[in-house]
Amino acid sequence: MAANASRSRLRRLFGSVRFRITAVATGVVALVLVGTAVWSVGTQRRALTNVIDDRVEQRADDITALVSGGTIEDPLAREYDDDGLAQLVAAGGDVVAASPNIAGDPAVAEPPPPGRRARVTTVDNLPLGDPGAEFRLLARRIEGPDGRYVLYVAGELDDANESVAVLRRNLSVAFPGVLVVVAAIIWFVVDRSLRRVEAAHQRQQRFVADASHELRTPLTSIRSELEVDLAHPQQRDLGATQRSVLEETVRLQRLVNDLLYLARSDAGAAGLRHDSVDLDEIVLEEARTVRARRDLEVDTTAVSGAQVTGDGDQLGRVVRNLLDNAERHARSRVTITLGEDGAGVAFVVADDGPGIPADQAAGIFERFARVDEARGRAEGGSGLGLAITRDIVSRHGGTITVGPNHGTGARFVVRLPLGHGSESPPDPPE
Q: Which helix (H) or strand (E) holds 250?
A: helix 238-266
Q: In sequence order, what are the residues at sequence separation of 6 or more whose Cβ sits closer than 8 angstroms to the Cβ of residue 8?
A: none
- The predicted pLDDT at position 405 comes to 67
170 is a domain residue: no
Examine the domain organization and report whether 217 and 238 are in the same domain: yes
353 is a domain residue: yes
80 is a domain residue: yes
Write the burial class of residue 142 (CB in 10 Å: 0-12 exposed, 13-18 middle, 19+ buried).
middle
Examine the domain organization and report whether 251 and 281 are in the same domain: no
Q: What is the CA radius of gyration of the chain?
A: 45
Examine the domain organization and report whether 144 and 260 are in the same domain: no
- The predicted pLDDT at position 382 comes to 64
| CA nearest to 350, candidates 382, 327, 317, 316 | 327
Among 266, 285, 311, the domain-final residue is 266
- The predicted pLDDT at position 252 comes to 82
- The predicted pLDDT at position 72 comes to 82
- The predicted pLDDT at position 53 comes to 93
Examine the domain organization and report whether 290 and 394 are in the same domain: yes
The total of structural domains in the chain comes to 3
CATH number at residue 119: 3.30.450
Examine the domain organization and report whether 325 and 279 are in the same domain: yes
Q: In sequence order, what are the residues at sequence separation of 6 or more whose Cβ sits closer than 8 angstroms to the Cβ of residue 423?
A: none
249 is a domain residue: yes
- The predicted pLDDT at position 28 comes to 92
87 is a domain residue: yes
- The predicted pLDDT at position 363 comes to 82
pLDDT (tens, 9 = 90+) of the chain, 430 residues, equals: 555 555 556 566 555 788 888 888 889 999 999 999 999 999 999 999 999 999 999 999 988 988 888 888 777 766 666 678 998 999 888 998 888 888 889 999 999 998 889 999 999 888 887 888 899 999 999 988 888 999 999 999 988 999 999 999 999 999 899 999 998 999 888 888 888 888 878 877 777 776 776 677 778 888 888 888 888 877 777 788 788 888 888 878 877 887 787 777 777 767 788 889 999 999 999 999 999 888 889 999 999 988 899 989 889 989 998 998 899 889 899 999 999 887 789 999 999 888 888 777 778 888 777 665 444 444 545 678 888 889 899 989 999 998 776 667 889 999 999 865 444 433 434 3
Across the strands, what pairs with 307? 278
The structure's pTM equals 0.53
Which pairing describes strands 275-278 and 307-310: parallel, antiparallel, or unpaired? Answer: antiparallel
Examine the domain organization and report whether 291 and 230 are in the same domain: no
Across the strands, what pairs with 354? none
CATH number at residue 228: 1.10.287.130
Domain residues for the domain of 302 are 275-416
Examine the domain organization and report whether 350 and 284 are in the same domain: yes
Examine the domain organization and report whether 247 and 308 are in the same domain: no
- The predicted pLDDT at position 420 comes to 55
